[in-house]
Amino acid sequence: MADSTPQLRVGMVGYAFMGAAHSHAWRTAPRFFDLPLAPQLTAVAGRNLAAVTEAAERMGWQSVETDWRRLLERDDIDLIDICTPGDTHREIAIAALEAGKHVLCEKPLANSVEEAEDMADAARKAAANGVFAMCGFTYRRVPALSLARRFVREGRLGEIRHVRAQYLQDWLSDADAPLTWRMDKSKAGSGALGDIGAHIIDMAQWVSGSDITGLSAIMNTFVTERPVGGDLVGLGGKGSADGAKGPVTVDDAAAFTARFGNGAFGVFEATRFALGRKNAIRLEINGSKGSVAFDFEDMNVLEYFDGSDDAEAQGFRRIIVTEPVHPYVANWWPAGHGLGYEHGFTHQVVDLVRDIAAGEQPHPSFDDALQVQRVLAAVEESAGEGSAWTVIPSAR
C-alpha cells in the first residue's frame, strides 16, 4: 500500500478475545489486500490502565485511553471498533455515530430488540451523512460459506427446501468451570443462544437468501450455578478460593425449528455442552436441484451435491476452497494451502474499508443485525412458559 493512501484511523474499545482478533485483522488486511484506505491502529480503550497499556504494546496500538468516551472526542480517530460485552453496545455505538465516527460492532448487536432498534435507527441517520455502521458476523467471510452463498444465488440448488444449522461447543461442559460475564444475562443478554446461536441464524439467512419468519423453540440451563471468579474472556480461569458460587442466568443450550420467507423449513441448535465439539459450526442447505454442506472444523471444504449428475456418479463432492477463483483466496497462499479462523476477521476489515471508501453501506448492516436480534427474541419468547408444548402420555 502506497504511503500516499488516505488513512482510516481506528479506535477500539475492549482488548480481550475479540479485541485480539480484531487487532490482528486491522494489522494484516493492508498487507495482503490493496485497500483504498490505510487502517491505523490509533488507540485502544480499557478501564484498567496497566492492562490496556500492555495490550496496546502487544497488539500494536499507538495509544491508550481508560474511558471510551475519550475516543469519540479525538480528531485523529475515524472509526470505533466495539469489542465489549453486549450491555455496552447500544451506548457506545450510538454515541460514536452521533460523533461522526464509523462503527464496527461485535455480534450480537445488542441485548434486546429495543436496544437493537435504537442502534439501527442511529445507523440509518448516520448513513445519510456518509457515516456507516456494520455488525461483525465474521463467518460470512469464510471462503467456503461465501462460495455456498454464491451457489444459492446462481440457482445451482434450485428452490430451497431445508436449512440445518448447528453451533456446537463444549467449553462449559465442566460444571466447575467458573462463572464469567458470558453467564450473566444482564451483561451478555443470553447464553449459547446469543453468543453462538446468533452466528448460525445470520449464516443461514445470508447463505439461503431468505429471512426466518416464524419459529418454535426450547432452551435449557444444565448448570444453574458456578464457582465465582472466572476471567472476562469466558474461556477459562480459576474459581473463587473460598468455594463461593453464583447463579447462571442464561441458557446453556437452545434449539428451534423455523420457517423461512421463501418457504424453506429450518432446524437450529446452539450449545456449549456438546462434549468433544470445540467449534463445530455446521450448515446444510437442500434445494430442488442440489445441496451444500459446511462444517467449520473442516473450514476450507464445501460439500456440494449436484442433482443433475448421472445416477452412477451422484454423491457429495468435496470442494477444497483454496483456489484463486474462490472468494478472498487469491490474496493469500498458493492453491491447496488452507486459511484459518483469523482470516474471516481480516476479510471483514477488507470489505468494511472498501465500502467506507466507496460511500456504500457495509454488510451486515445494523438492520441485518436487528433481524437476527428479532429471531433471538422470538426464540426466548417461544421457549418461555407460555410456549405451546404437546405432552406425550407415557405408555409404560
Percent of the chain with pLDDT over 90: 92
- Res 109 pLDDT > 70: yes
- Res 12 pLDDT > 60: yes
Helix (H) or strand (E) holding 133: strand 133-136
pLDDT band of 386, cuts 50, 70, 90: low
Whether omega before 108 lies within 30 degrees of 0, making that bond cis, reads yes
Q: Does 7-138 match 143-298+300-339 in CATH topology?
A: no
Percent of the chain with pLDDT over 70: 95
Output the CA–CA distances (angstroms, integers) from residue 173 to 176, 199, 226, in the order listed. Answer: 9, 20, 12
Superfamily of domain 7-138: NAD(P)-binding Rossmann-like Domain (3.40.50.720)
Cβ(262)–Cβ(160) below 8 Å: yes
Residues 205-255: tens digit of each pLDDT:
999 999 999 999 999 999 999 999 755 333 334 445 567 999 999 999 999
- Which CATH number describes the domain made up of 143-298+300-339? 3.30.360.10
Residues 86-96: tens digit of each pLDDT:
999 999 999 99
- Res 287 pLDDT > 80: yes
What pLDDT shows up at residue 1?
59
CA distance 179 to 114: 27
Residues 169-217: tens digit of each pLDDT:
999 999 999 999 999 999 999 999 999 999 999 999 999 999 999 999 9
Q: For 302-370, give the DSSP string.
A: EEEEETTS-GGG-S-EEEE--STTSTTGGGSSSTT----HHHHHHHHHHHHHHHHHHT---SS-HHHHH
Cβ(182)–Cβ(198) below 8 Å: no
End-to-end Cα, the chain, rounded Å = 72
Task: Write out the three cell numbers for 130.
Answer: 456518509
What pLDDT shows up at residue 3?
74
Mean pLDDT rounded to a whole number for the chain: 94
Residues 336-358: tens digit of each pLDDT:
999 999 999 999 999 999 999 99
- Res 165 pLDDT > 50: yes
Q: What are phi and psi of 254, to 5 degrees?
A: -145, 145
- Res 104 pLDDT > 90: yes
Output the CA–CA distances (angstroms, integers) from residue 298 to 201, 281, 301, in the order listed. Answer: 20, 10, 6
Output the CA–CA distances (angstroms, integers) from residue 142 to 29, 207, 321, in the order listed. Answer: 15, 12, 10
Closest CA to 302 of 136, 150, 137: 150
Task: Write out the three cell numbers for 165.
Answer: 444449522
- Res 121 pLDDT > 80: yes
The structural domains of the chain, with segments of one domain joined by +, span: 7-138, 143-298+300-339
Whether omega before 364 lies within 30 degrees of 0, making that bond cis, reads yes
The pTM score is: 0.94
pLDDT band of 395, cuts 50, 70, 90: confident
Q: For 68-122, give the DSSP string.
A: HHHHHH-TT--EEEE-S-GGGHHHHHHHHHHTT-EEEEESSS-SSHHHHHHHHHH
Q: What are phi and psi of 133, to 5 degrees?
A: -130, 145
What pLDDT shows up at residue 4?
87
